[in-house]
Amino acid sequence: MNDTLVIDELRFDLRRSAKRKTMGITVDRDGFLILHAPMDVPQPAIEQYAREKRLWIYSKLAEKEVLAWPIRMKEFVSGEGFYYLGRNYRLLLVDTSEGSTTPTPLQLHHGRFLLRRDEQEHGRKHFIAWYTGHARPWLHHRVALLTDRIGSAPTSVRVRDLSFRWASCGQDRSLNFHWRTILLPPRIIEYLVAHELLHLHEPNHSSKFWQRLERAMPDYQSRRQWLDREGGRFYL
């Protein structure tokens, strides 16, 4: 018996079985979460168990990402590379005397990210704000394009920090995307959009879910495998 459980931004495939004696959580290779429970455990007890395991879950999700790619913290110095829609752009620090070309703390101009030198210590904050601001219209547009193909529309599309998850589908039928999503190549973002739109039809990762996704996006498996293999490179 399969169902879906959402705790904060974590979505579990809830699988009850008469053969189970205890509860347990599996984090699969794609970061999908499966919560196993006996048939007779009440829903509140399952939800409490999932909440108590959140720290462990986040550590496992982080571990998968860190093991996939050795993470080096970005430095906000000239020459550092930052991704946007799958392309790598070099950063250039500019003096405030060059304010005519940098009216805002950060912008993408002629193939370079320009960060005002007087805002260098706040570089991470400015990049997150820039990515978030550019992700919103881009994702709204892609959701609109894929809505007809998938046959379902969300109540809203939000861009936020989802910790170690790329995207999630809320119980209120909203779609949530990590601001980091906009770093990925467009075809990979489209896979994430299609994946979450399908959850409006099929809340868990059943065989029916993957069959419907394949009909909507025949090459979804190659996109999914690419994200699993390469996604760890796209961080801030």
Count of other CB atoms within 10 angstroms of residue 82: 22
Residue 125 has pLDDT above 70, yes or no: yes
8 A C-beta contact, residue 220 and residue 214: yes
Q: What is the mean pLDDT of residues 209-222?
A: 92
8 A C-beta contact, residue 183 and residue 218: no
Q: What is the mean pLDDT of residues 81-87?
A: 95
Structure confidence by residue, pLDDT tens digits, 179-205:
999 999 999 999 999 999 999 988 878
Residue 68 has pLDDT above 60, yes or no: no
Residue 98 has pLDDT above 70, yes or no: no
As a whole-number percent, the residues of the chain with pLDDT over 70 amount to 90
What pLDDT score was predicted for residue 58? 78
Residue 52 has pLDDT above 50, yes or no: yes
What pLDDT score was predicted for residue 7? 79
- Helices 220-230 and 207-216 cross at an angle (nearest 10°) of 110
Q: What is the mean pLDDT of residues 51-67?
A: 73
Least confident of 41-50, 115-124, 164-173: 164-173
How far from chain centre, in Å, is Cα 40?
34
What pLDDT score was predicted for residue 99? 45
d(CA 177, CA 162): 7
